[in-house]
Amino acid sequence: MIDIKLIRENPELVKENIKKKFQDEKLVLVDEVKKLDEEYRELRIKADELRGKRNTISKQIGALMAKGLKEEAEKIKEEVKKIGEEIENCELLEPQFENKIREKMLVIPNIIDESVPIGEDDSKNVEIEQFGTKRTFDYEIPYHVDIMEKLSGIDIDSARKTSGNGFYYLTGDIARLHSAILSYARDYMVGKGFTYCIPPFMIRSEVVTGVMSFKEMENMMYKIEGEDLYLIGTSEHSMIGRFIDTINDESKLPYTLTSYSPCFRKEVGAHGIEERGVYRIHQFEKQEMVVICKPEESMEWYNKMWKYSVDLFLSLNIPVRTLECCSGDLADLKVKSCDVEAWSPRQQKYFEVCSCSNLGDAQARRLKIRVKGEKGNYLPHTLNNTVVAPPRMLIAFLENNYNQDGSIDIPEALQPYMGGQKKIEAK
């Protein structure tokens, strides 16, 4: 959510930003908010003036009574009562204005960074850089589910019976590999100075609307029936929510946190979940990184964070590239975002495995996260990035470490987490 001062002082900047995001249908919101805000401030001024008038007149009542002018005092009491009713009416209208303004403000997109490329959708995202050497294979790389099945590592048919499409059982060495990657990612981030956390896996609606846009919420979140609780789509939601309505000591910034959680997503709009694959699924596990920092440090952290993901994937023999998200592909709260995409030797193309985002002060404003600084309180910036998210990440891992005999090489960095095992082979 942007600062309402922008709409008061520079509404054309807000409108231009909306146009850059190809959301022209939201342009009318700027004028609507501006008008509501003016009426709201006029209402508050009126209420303050009425309170002042009531206080002044009320002082006269005692003096008149002392002089025995009871009739005049009663007239003033009647006037005070009418003023009180007007004040009460103003006080009833104030929260209505606040709610209307907030409702519209939540839909207006955040101001994007000047460096963001302009484009209407993800087809206009821009490659920044490629990392790692693509391994040359003189044999065919099987489909990832076929690789797992030959290693007795996955059972999708049973999961379809118990839970429906979009679920899976991982078993044996593949299940162990899945856990090993998460443990390696955890320790990798701890080694970068991040604090390890395991957050709640359910959050209340006020946190949901604080960390994401309505469109994202509708497409992603599962609601717990009969309760004000949602299953998290990523641990970033509850990690940022942890700081709701707090005033934090500036000397403790930045907060650098890495969190593990299962993630639950509807995947609405995914055009069907691949029948046997594990690319788009309703349930998965993820290691996340979250940073809360001073505004002037957020871009420095943004660049550090995506580089952490690049280095981690390279340590597992997986070539990657970074892709700058264009304006039309940015979620409404984001200032700037890039994807880290892993190389698929089977498909001969890259696919998304991480997403790094700088959200500026949007989440902090929605959730009332403040920092106490030397010059007063201010809103911090929040950032998040995927460390690893298996099983999607497993696709890239299996393909890039696949041998002709069907075995999978375990990179040296991961071997301690696999009990020293150097290969996964069919039993």
- Taking the CA atoms of residue 166, residue 170, residue 174 and residue 178 in that order, the dihedral angle to the nearest 10 degrees is 70
pLDDT category, 73, cuts 50, 70, 90?
A: confident
pLDDT category, 268, cuts 50, 70, 90?
A: low
Judged by DSSP in three states, 302 sits in helix
**Which of 105, 140, 165 is where one domain is finished?**
105
The Cα–Cα gap between 43 and 37 comes to 10
**Which of 47, 79, 105 is where one domain is finished?**
105
Question: Do 212 and 357 share a domain, yes or no?
Answer: yes
> What is the pLDDT, as a whole number, of residue 64?
72
The Cα–Cα gap between 54 and 69 comes to 19
> What is the pLDDT, as a whole number, of residue 97?
96
Tokens representing 52 are: 């002042």
Cα of 11 vs its chain's centroid, Å: 26
pLDDT category, 65, cuts 50, 70, 90?
A: confident
> Is there a domain that residue 111 lies in?
no
The Cα–Cα gap between 125 and 332 comes to 16
> Is there a domain that residue 113 lies in?
no
Residue 391 pLDDT exceeds 80: yes
> Is there a domain that residue 116 lies in?
no
> What is the pLDDT, as a whole number, of residue 274?
46
Tell me the mean pLDDT in the region 141-154.
95
Produce one character per residue of 347-384: b if its CB has 16 or more CB atoms within 10 Å, e if not.
Answer: eeebeebbbbbbbbbbbbbbbebbbeeeeeeebbbbbb
What's the pLDDT tens digit per position in 78-127? Answer: 888 899 999 999 999 999 999 999 999 999 999 999 999 999 999 999 99
Question: Do 97 and 134 share a domain, yes or no?
Answer: no
CATH of the domain at 26: 1.10.287.40
What's the pLDDT tens digit per position in 210-255? Answer: 998 767 777 789 999 999 999 999 999 999 999 999 999 999 999 9
Please confirm whether the linkage preceding 109 is cis (ω < 30° from 0): no
What's the pLDDT tens digit per position in 333-385? Answer: 999 999 999 999 999 999 999 999 999 999 999 999 999 999 899 999 999 99
- Structurally, the chain folds into a number of domains equal to 2
> Is there a domain that residue 206 lies in?
yes
Question: Do 369 and 269 share a domain, yes or no?
Answer: yes
Residue 419 pLDDT exceeds 90: yes
- What are the CA-CA distances from residue 330 to residues 107, 278, 297, 427 (Å)? 14, 25, 21, 45
Q: Is 62 or 421 the better-scoring residue by pLDDT?
A: 421
CATH of the domain at 357: 3.30.930.10
- Decide if 221 contacts 230 (C-beta within 8 A): yes
Residue 264 pLDDT exceeds 80: yes
Question: Do 229 and 265 share a domain, yes or no?
Answer: yes
Question: Do 182 and 94 share a domain, yes or no?
Answer: no
The Cα–Cα gap between 35 and 337 comes to 32
Report the alpha-carbon angle 178-181-183, nearest 5.
110
pLDDT over 70 percentage in the chain: 97
Tell me the mean pLDDT in the region 171-191.
97
Tokens representing 3 are: 């600062």
Q: State pTM to two decimals.
A: 0.89
What's the pLDDT tens digit per position in 273-318? Answer: 444 578 888 999 999 999 999 999 999 999 999 999 999 999 999 9
Residue 133 pLDDT exceeds 50: yes
Produce one character per residue of 127-147: b if its CB has 16 or more CB atoms within 10 Å, e if not.
Answer: eeeebbeeeeeeeebbebbeb
| DSSP characters over 223-275 | EPTTSS-EE-SSHHHHHHHTTTTEEEEGGGPPEEEEEEEEEE---TTSSS--S
Q: 126: domain range? A: 122-424
**Which of 105, 138, 168 is where one domain is finished?**
105
Question: Do 179 and 94 share a domain, yes or no?
Answer: no
> What is the pLDDT, as a whole number, of residue 273?
45
> Is there a domain that residue 31 lies in?
yes
Strands of the 369-373 sheet, one edge to the other: 246-249, 369-373, 376-378
Residue 34 pLDDT exceeds 90: yes
> Is there a domain that residue 58 lies in?
yes
Residue ranges of the alpha helices (H) in 67-153?
70-105, 144-150
> What is the pLDDT, as a whole number, of residue 269?
53
- Decide if 341 contacts 353 (C-beta within 8 A): yes
pLDDT category, 69, cuts 50, 70, 90?
A: confident
The Cα–Cα gap between 314 and 263 comes to 25
Average pLDDT over the chain, rounded to an integer: 93
> Is there a domain that residue 292 lies in?
yes
Question: Do 101 and 129 share a domain, yes or no?
Answer: no
